[in-house]
Each structure stands twice: as structure tokens, then as C-alpha cells.
Amino acid sequence: MTELPTPPQRKLNFLPTSANFKLLEPLGVGTVGVVYRAESPDISEPVAVKLLHPTIAHDENIVDRFQREIVIMERLNHPHIVRNYGGGMMDGQYFYAMQLLESGTLKDRIKKFGPLPWPQAAAFAAQIASALQHAHNHGIIHRDLKTSNLFFNKEGKLLLGDFGIARDTHDADITGVGITVGTYAYMSPEQICGDKEITGKADLYSLGCVMMEMLTGQPPFMGANFAQVWGQHLNDKPPGIRERGIECPEWLEKIVLQLLEKDPERRPFNARAVQGNLKDHLIEEFGPDLSHLTRDLPPLEDVQSPESPSSSRIVFVILLLAALVAAAVVLGK
């Protein structure tokens, strides 16, 4: 097992914020970075600090991706997006800080409890659509929306994280034309084909995959390898939901299948339209207060022994480190 390094005994002044952060225990270590728990007198919630190893600071590809993610996150401020607390460079080491979420991911919850009841799935989908619209309004296309990048806070709300391969439409796309980025079970056909003009409609396709997984327990297309799954994304009709005996209103299945259209122009106009459609139907059925649909979620932590580290914390840290590894792979092409 790799030994975790001792955290530096100093405070960090995070740029561009004026908040002071003190590094506490390390939460995880990878080949490209270390994630620490941190605290600040200026912030009332736990913070995760991602530090880039000085040994790879000379790798322009990784550093460019790291810096771009900081810049992207600085532009986003939304209740359903993981909060960013700034980043910069100190003593030759790049870093940034973000909200630390320890209540697990949507993937964790589906794996443990199975498919979600349709009202809950629809309510969470509206939250995700709201986050996507905010990102799209700021010129950011996530490109890697999936259930393991959706984190629960203590109130049971979903927050979108990991913008490590996001595309900034205000800047040149450093991944280049013809390069495929994303997670194959959730990728839109245009991402698979490496299309030059990837728009927010690609995120809507991924949202359809996430909604299918919430309702059925798995993404729409499964296969033994990525080539099989890509072929299904490109050519196959997505499976129905209601025909499998799953309780789901016709209007909700229609939304999911429209999101999964192969042609981006046949998908909903934007994420706001999806959010509005979902909320209109939910309000008609349950009234204007929808908060009860996502409250009182059963805890994930009860499968952990008191001596064991939280699995949700481990997942969070792995995803932070994996984002840097993915960046190295993508940019190394």
C-alpha cells in the first residue's frame, strides 16, 4: 500500500480568494496528486484540497487541464454544483480547494438500494438539469455527466462535480477535433464520433442515460467492452422502461427517450426546458412543494463499521484523483 505523505505544517493562502486554509489529514494519494481534508476559519463546511505532485508540474498537458478546471469552477456558483474555493500555485505546487461531500454518490445509492422510485428520480433529474443549464449559460459543457459524478450533500440534494474534461466554449478546446472524451456508458453519439462542435445537447444525452439508470438500475446500453456499447449508442434504439414492468408514467419515459435521441436536434431545446417539463408534471401530481420527494434518504454509511473509512469519502477522493489521470490520458493522445 502506498504510504500517505504527512501534510505540510503550514497554512495556504488560496488564490484568488483571501481565505486561509490549513491542511489536515490526507484523504488519498495517486500518481498525479494528493487530496487533503482542510479547514478554514472563513468557511463553515469541510473542504477538500487537491494538490498536484511537484514531480509532474513540468507536464504541460496535466498542468493546463488542472488550471482550466480551476478557471471553469470559478465561473460556476449554483446550489447543485460542487462549490469551488479557489486555487493557484504555492512553492511550485498547484492546488485548488472545493466543497468536501461525504454522503456518497448517486452511483453508490443505486448500487446499494437499486432503482429509485420514479418521483424521486424525476426530482433529482430536475436538480441535475438545473445545474447543467447554469453551466451551459456560462459556456461550460460538462462532457462527463454520470451517476458517479453526482454527489449527495447532507440535505439529500444532488451536486454535480468533476469538471476535469469539461469544454469551455469561450476558449479553444485543447482536446482537439477527433478526440473522444467521456465515459462510454453515458456518451452521446457526437462525442463518440469526435465531432468538432459538441454542444450542451451532448450533456442532455448523458442526462437521459443517468435518468435511465435511476429508473432501471443501469444505463440504457450495456456491453462486454466499449466498442459494443459505442455501437449501441450510435445505432440501437434505447430500451423502453414501462415495457419492463417498471413503474414510470408515460410522460417521464417520453422525456428520457427524447433525451436519448441520436440526433442532437431531436433532443429538448436545452436543460431548462427539461427542468421545466419535469417540474410541471411533478407539481401537477404532488403540489408546489417537492422537497419531500428527495428528503429522508436512507443512509449509505450503515454498511460501514465504525473503524472503517467512509466508502463515500473514498469514492470522492478516487474521483478527484481519477480526473487528473483521465486528463493525462486524454491530453497525451
Annotated catalytic residues are 144
Asked whether the beta carbons of 34 and 96 are under 8 A apart, the reply is no
- Identity (one letter) of the amino acid at 270? N
CB-based contact 164:65 (threshold 8 Å)? yes
CA dist 190 and 198 (Å) reads 7
Q: Rounded to the nearest 5°, which phi and psi values hold at 27? A: -100, -25
Name the H helices within 86-235. Answer: 106-113, 118-137, 189-192, 200-216, 226-235
Torsion angle (degrees, nearest 10) of CA 230, 233, 239, 240: 150
Q: How far apart are CA 33 and CA 52, in angstroms?
A: 4
Look at the block and give the residue holding cell 404532488. 286
**How far is the C-alpha of 207 from the C-alpha of 260, rounded, in Å?**
8
- 108: burial class by Cβ within 10 Å (0-12, 13-18, 19+)? buried
Distances in whole angstroms, Cα of residue 205 to Cα of each of 18, 146, 249: 39, 11, 20
The whole-angstrom separation of Cα 127 and Cα 275 is 8
Per DSSP, the three-state class of 34 is strand
| DSSP codes, 256-271 | HHHHT-SSGGGS-S-H
